[in-house]
Structure 1
């Protein structure tokens, strides 16, 4: 009987300072980075706008990727 009482008392003391710890998890999506070729096309379109085409410039920009 003393052993059972001691176990219950010890368990109460051991659990007295126990705190529940909650963790927050973040959902992080990896943003796909543009390839060098896609960046080259973006630069080309920014320079040329809606004007005429300059395929030599486009090829040079893409060539910098390799």
Structure 2
């Protein structure tokens, strides 16, 4: 039985450099509208989880990453 490996593990197994989790987290930008819509859904359907969600996304870099005119 073969064990499933994540992308980082497969890169390391192939002898390729792979960025660490901190490097990846520092380079990601979360879309403002997506985070707001998610918070609204959580507030509506599981409000007890909202504080935890907001705490988890509070340190993310955010910006306008979704192009509203891109319908692909």
Q: Give TM-score, length-normalised by structure 1.
A: 0.28
Return the index of the structure with the highest Cα Rg: 1
- With CA pairs under 8 Å and 6+ residues apart, which has the higher RCO, 1 or 2? 2
- Relative to total residues, which structure has the larger strand share, 1 or 2? 2
